[in-house]
Structure 1
Amino acid sequence: MAAYLIADVDITDAAVFEQYRREVPATEERYGGRYLARGGATKVFEGDWHPHRLVIIEFPDMASLSAWYDSPEYERLKEIRFRSARTRILAVEGITLSPT
């Protein structure tokens, strides 16, 4: 069953965050991750939510998503993200989307 990482990213230091943005896709791809949304326009229809930069990444399953998140190659990039952004991240199991 596919798993989706959903992140709300509030960038606090764009110069430092740029390194994270450049390097992170290659680490996700090694674990089967692919972007479904990455910083596009958002519109809140209900609730008290003020998203910043939303990112949605599909992984083959929760095990692959967790393996990427806990991987040594991503650990270094997390430190860069911690220094340059405030984030809220969650993972949810869902359905596998067919490629377009």
Structure 2
Amino acid sequence: MPAYVVLTREHTHDAQEMERYGEKAKAAREGHDPQPLAFYGDIEVLEGSAMEGAVILRFPDMAAARAWYQSPAYQEARKHRFQGADYRVFIVDGLTEV
């Protein structure tokens, strides 16, 4: 069953750190092949706190999503995200495709 990693950027503190994060996060996707379903497009918050942007990545399953997130390459990228902005990040199981 597919799994989705959802990242919501709530507030940017340091644009330069976010640039570094973007470069390293892109490289960290190699070998994990997530399918981007949404990537910082136009956003409209209907309920809850404001956010600046969102990303949704589809993986084949929870294990693949965790493997990407816990990979050394993404952990290195993540350091820059922590310094650059406030995010909420979670993995959610998808539905079995019909």
TM class, shorter-length:
0.7 to 0.9
Q: What is aligned with 1:40?
A: 41
Q: For the structure 1 residues 37 and 7, does the alpha-carbon distance in structure 2 shift closer, same or farther, using more than 3 Å as the test?
A: same
Q: What is aligned with 1:15?
A: 16
CA shift for structure 1 position 19: 1.4
DSSP 3-state at the match of 1:49: coil
User: In 2, are the aligned partners of 1:62 and 1:93 still within 8 Å (CA)?
Assistant: yes
Identify which range, 87-96 or 13-22, moves more after superposition: 87-96
Q: What is aligned with 1:5?
A: 5
CA shift for structure 1 position 5: 0.7
DSSP 3-state at the match of 1:87: strand
User: In 1, are the aligned partners of 2:28 and 2:77 still within 8 Å (CA)?
Assistant: no
Q: Which runs of 4+ in 1 moved over 4 A?
A: none
Listed one character per residue, the Cα deviations across residues 30-87 of structure 1 (whole Å, up to 9, x for unaligned) are 2121211111111233x22312211111111110110111111111111111111111
Aligned-residue CA RMSD (Å) = 1.7
Question: Does the alignment pair 1:66 with 2:77?
Answer: no
What is the alpha-carbon distance in structure 2 between the residues aligned to residue 11 and residue 60 of structure 1?
30
Q: TM-score, normalised by structure 2?
A: 0.85
What is the alpha-carbon distance in structure 2 between the residues aligned to residue 5 and residue 88 of structure 1?
11
DSSP 3-state at the match of 1:68: helix
What is the alpha-carbon distance in structure 2 between the residues aligned to residue 77 and residue 26 of structure 1?
9
Aligned residues: 96
What is the alpha-carbon distance in structure 2 between the residues aligned to residue 91 and residue 52 of structure 1?
19
